[in-house]
Amino acid sequence: MSKLYIMTGGPGAGKTSLLNELEKKGLITVPEEGRRIIKEQVDRNGDALPWMNKEKFASLMFEASLVSYQKMVQMKEKNGVFFDRGILDTIGYLRLESIPVPTEMEIKAREMAYHKNVFILPPWKEIYENDSERKQTFEVAIATFECMNDIYREYGYHVIEVPKLTIEQRGGFILDMIEKNSEH
């Protein structure tokens, strides 16, 4: 079974902080592609931004996710690799924006599978903050969480909600869940 683990959910739920915590524990993590793309597009005055050209942004995000997946699947890291969002998050984004999902994306999403357990972080108003890359409202964060929850289940993944705890406790929860599931 794949040791490629997804962390998903709405924006501002603590995914990046949680991945940083896992990285501190010596695990391999892959940052979110969307943030990197936004920074690159802003730096070069590009229009592939979620507030300008949503389809172009989604296309860049999808391609970057494919590259990250292919790079990490070759590593055969025994402790696993933790992704801040996966290929299906792009499909979820398109659905959320009422943009038709290209058939090629759906095919690739089924071909390129992650570990069956996906970790989802729920919306958490107390830690939610906007910044230069995160312009969504908290209501959009809730809708994104619900969309990601639905899409991962639709594609056959087992979605595990990460409780609202300290970063250290959240990291421990994920590692405990992985250890529990590796015993079966």
The amino acid occupying position 142 is I
User: What is the distance between the alpha carbons of residues 22 and 147, in angstroms, rounded to a whole number?
Assistant: 25
Residues ≥6 apart with Cβ < 8 Å to 46: 40
In the chain, the percentage of residues whose pLDDT exceeds 70 is 92
Q: What is the pLDDT of residue 128?
A: 60
Domains and CATH numbers, the chain: 4-182 (3.40.50.300)
Q: How wide is the angle at C-alpha 36 spanned by C-alphas 27 and 174, nearest 5°?
A: 30
Tens digits of residue pLDDT in 86-143: 999 999 999 999 999 999 999 999 999 999 999 999 988 776 666 655 567 778 888 9
What pLDDT digit, counting tens, does each position of 148-173 carry? 999 999 999 999 999 999 999 999 99
Contact 53, 118 (CB under 8 A): no
Give the pLDDT band of residue 1 (cuts 50, 70, 90): low
In our burial notation (b when 16+ CB lie closer than 10 A, e otherwise), range 41-68 reads beeeebebbbeeebebbbbbbbebbbeb
Residue 74 is predicted with a pLDDT of 82
Total-model pTM? 0.89
For residues 54, 59, 65 and 66, what is the CA-based torsion angle, rounded to 10 degrees? 170
